Chains A and B, each alone.
Chain A
Amino acid sequence: MATGSFATSGADLELVGIQKRFPGFTAIEHLDLVIPAGSFFALLGPSGCGKTTTLRLVAGLEDPTRGSILIGGEDVTHRKPFQRPVNTVFQSYALFPHMTVLENVAFGLRRRKMAKPLELAQEALELVELEHLASRKPTQLSGGQQQRVALARAVVNRPALLLLDEPLGALDLKLRRQMQLELKSIQEEVGLTFLHVTHDQEEAMTMADTVAVMNKGRIEQLGAPEDLYELPHTAFVANFLGQSNLFTGPVLEATSHAIAVEVAGTRVLVPKARARKHSGEVTVGIRPEKLRLLTEAPPTTAGVNTLGPGTVTDVSFSGVSTQYQVDVPGADSVTVFAQNLDFGPVVTPGTEVWVSWKVDHGFGLEDSASEEAKFAPELDTATIAVQAKRDLAAELEVS
């Protein structure tokens, strides 16, 4: 399949029961994933969550311990990387320093013995608007240009599936924004399936149709970016994608459409449809920008939750909005983002305030905040590799 012809369109990618163990640790516990053809799919997670391993498994650079990988319905689990209709844009770009830009782009075409490799390569360079640099060596290009060459080198092969391994990580913010848009438009233009691995939530949200949030070798939640943001299922997702205020308390009562949770001595309502758990201890979350800051105790209104009174402990002004930190007895410190509709902050530290939000904006998590709220930065990939290397060395030493 890989030799002699282009993939006519993107293909489905299916991961079935994948497990990947390295000596001494497990990178992926159990992974089932279907990425439909033509979609832009992002795997989002912190360093060491297993997202890069997943990508390397799909590329064929690692072999899964268990499970199978299907591309376009065909089992490729035991195919070598060069036999798979998959191309990768590497994190470091991995451009061949001893070849010109054009030869770099033509490399895959030549290996597959395609007709007119240089012409196709030239076209691919036009796609990324670098045709004028075709005869340069990669070291003579800027970071952004290198990234585009790496993209052209992968796209020119018309793979059924294009893998992007944090390709924008090395670029500065402005260039990254620009490249994000370019990538997105190229994907729409060529209609491939993109699998994008990143730890940058903003990058994942702006580019991908579907985002899967990975943590500790498994997928925590998968969905459209806005769904993930508005309705996170776990504390990890709630905190990794944006910020959340989380309150844990026992369920006092459950009606047909809502549950009531006791938080700081107050009843807080969450729509049943937006809660993953309806009994026992439940963690309720609310995004800081959905909170309203009130300087007087509000009258009890249906459809609105209120906490307070609390004390403002910190005010930080950032132009468009102001972030307030409010200490509510019985609950943790609450963060409120308020748009600066008026001039500057409306309250000062020490002021007594209430916070309120619409019941419809809250969400109930399936796990508890205390388990996941403090996001522990895990080992990064390099550390894991080094650790694995040591373990393997030790293992060989013993045997």
Chain B
Amino acid sequence: MAFAAFATGTAKEQAPRRKSRIALLLLLPGILYMMLFFLVPLVSLVMTSLQAPVEFGDIGEYETAFRWENYVVAISTYGEHILRSFGYALMATIFALLFSYPLAYFIGVKARPWPLLQKLMLVMVIAPFFISFLLRTLAWKSLLSDEGFLVSSLKALSLMAPDAHFTGTGAAVVFGLTYNFIPFMTLPLYANLERLDTRLVEAGGDLYARPATTFFKVTVPLSMPGIVSGVLLTFIPAAGDYINASPQFLGGPSTAMIGNVIESNFLVTNNYPAAASLSIILMAVILVMVVVYIKRSGTEDLL
């Protein structure tokens, strides 16, 4: 949704105007702000990622250098975390898509005759946004803990081994990521499906396509822009998240994602260059994946 909003063609093409002076005045403060607190920090991050420790200095003291091996070190030390991050994020994105598509389809297409119901269901979709991200994750931690109702009943029914856990496992982290980013997936899907021309679906049926065929040949391709937006909006924050994977929340000692590593290097061990180079790697991989994904799904005009 947010991505589609940057599409170039607006509904109403407007006549050209040239009053660059006013445009400049309008743009200048905001753009300066973004330069100063987004672009410069990125540059600063790149510089930090190449720093070398000060000789005989304290922990956390670094000086400007061009130590490209920082990246090599980061990848060799944390390669596992990087892969795990993208693996978890990918799984969470797929689960969120599978969860959200039917829901968005129901709200956006089937519930059309009842606009008020549509609105209420939408409010319920975004409701998790209004309760603290951390608290709702902690709520799942309690609900899914070994003492919790779910796990203890599963154990009582011998569906789970008595010494097995759910929290602290990779599955729990993927579950948490999926839950937390479902609204990011559902909303763009809804926004797209809500405008789906049902006559096209009927035309599919009219042209001898069975419902399943119509769905995959007509509905899904038409909703591609919504899917692309939803996937990006889910994947990007999921890949960089470190709440769900944190041992205090749903993760355990062996679930650390790249975000956890960046956080601990930056804020705990003060190893700024490592944290910075990992951040750059994360951002670069995400940008490459986003561009490739958008190109392949044929919705370049989204950017």
Contacts and interface: CB of A to CB of B under 8 A. Distances in A.
B14 A385 contact: yes
A389 interface: yes
Contacts of A386: 13
Contacts, number: 17
A327 B13 CA distance: 46
A389 B14 contact: yes
Contacts of B15: 385, 388-389
A90 to B, nearest CB: 14
Interface residues of B, number: 5
Contact of B13 (A22, A385, A392): A385
Contacts of A393: 16
Nearest to B12: A382
B16 A23 contact: yes
B18 interface: yes
Interface string A359-399: 00000000000000000000000100110110011000000
Interface in B1-23: 13-16, 18
Interface of B is mostly: loop
Contacts of B13: 382, 385-386, 389
Contacts of B14: 385, 389
B148 to A, nearest CB: 52
Nearest to A382: B13
A57 to B, nearest CB: 13
Contacts of B16: 22-23, 385, 388-389, 392-393
A389 B15 CA distance: 6
A372 to B, nearest CB: 29
A382 B15 CA distance: 8
A388 B15 CA distance: 7
Contacts of B18: 392
Contacts of A392: 16, 18
Nearest to A384: B15
Interface string A69-106: 00000000000000000000000000000000000000
A52 to B, nearest CB: 11
B21 to A, nearest CB: 15
Interface string A102-116: 000000000000000
Interface in B148-169: none
A392 B13 CA distance: 13
A343 to B, nearest CB: 47
Interface in A22-50: 22-23
A388 B18 CA distance: 12
Nearest to A391: B16
B23 to A, nearest CB: 11
Contacts of A385: 13-16
A392 B18 CA distance: 9
A18 B179 CA distance: 65
A150 B156 CA distance: 75
A314 B182 CA distance: 67
A329 to B, nearest CB: 50
Nearest to B9: A386
Interface string B94-125: 00000000000000000000000000000000
A386 B14 CA distance: 7
Nearest to A385: B15
Nearest to A56: B15
Nearest to B15: A385
B285 to A, nearest CB: 31
A44 to B, nearest CB: 23
Nearest to A393: B16
A61 to B, nearest CB: 9
B107 to A, nearest CB: 27
A80 to B, nearest CB: 13
A38 B239 CA distance: 72
A181 to B, nearest CB: 33
B9 to A, nearest CB: 10
Interface string B9-44: 000011110100000000000000000000000000
Nearest to B13: A386
B20 to A, nearest CB: 9
A380 to B, nearest CB: 12
Given A386-B13, A389-B14, 8 more contacts: A22-B16, A23-B16, A385-B13, A385-B16, A389-B13, A389-B15, A392-B18, A393-B16
15 contacts: A22-B16, A23-B16, A385-B13, A385-B14, A385-B15, A385-B16, A386-B13, A388-B15, A388-B16, A389-B13, A389-B14, A389-B15, A392-B16, A392-B18, A393-B16
CB-based closest 6 A-B pairs: A385-B15, A392-B16, A386-B13, A389-B16, A388-B16, A385-B13
